[in-house]
Amino acid sequence: MKKYFADCHTIEDVKRTYKEWAKKLHPDNGGSEEEFKAMSAEYEKAFNRLKNVHAKQDGSTFEEESQEVPEEFASIINACIAFENVKIEIIGSWIWLTGNTFAYKDIIKDLGFFWSKSKKAWYYTGESEKSFKRGHYSMDGVRRKWGTTEVKGTGEERRKIS
């Protein structure tokens, strides 16, 4: 059995890795349903094991109790994968959508995303609160602070941005 999440040490790692594998293995992108289900089952185990372990900016980790469940995050990513010309980024433990999102605006709202006027992007926190006042950063500033993974195309070309 393949270990999709063997190199993950924090919940942010698990979420980034899930997004990459979901993009590659999702049946809508030509992947097999069996392999996608196997990856999803391993994701659930890794998520539950690491859901309270978070990464700090300096690379160290800390623990903080989370009420989030793996199905919630997976369903959000799976719903967004089919959006054309929309970039999905996992930044820290948030999901950000940029690009041509107008056509999907109602779906994105129904999924629980909020619009950030200053960043011109949609964000999903998994929390019921609309925003957090933790400083004023541009999108590039948020990416630099928390790190992000960008998946190009259907996943053949991967690039980590730190």
Q: What's the per-residue H, E or C state across 24-57?
A: HHCHHHCCCHHHHHHHHHHHHHHHHHHCCEEECC
Rounded distance between C-alpha atoms, residue 146 and residue 92, angstroms = 5
Residue 45, CA distances (Å) to 5, 25, 42, 60, 149 in order: 9, 18, 5, 22, 21
Residues of the chain with pLDDT under 50: 131, 151-162
pLDDT of residue 151: 45
pLDDT of residue 122: 94
54 found inside a domain: yes
Q: Tokens 């049946």 belong to which residue?
A: 27
6 found inside a domain: no
65 found inside a domain: yes
Cβ-proximal residues to 152 (8 Å cutoff; 6+ apart), any chain:
158, 159
Rounded distance between C-alpha atoms, residue 154 and residue 101, angstroms = 18
23 found inside a domain: yes
3 found inside a domain: no
CA torsion 151→154→157→158, rounded to 10°?
Answer: 30
Give the count of domains, the chain: 1
71 found inside a domain: yes
pLDDT of residue 98: 92
2 found inside a domain: no
Which domain, by its residues, includes 128?
11-152
pLDDT of residue 57: 61
122 found inside a domain: yes
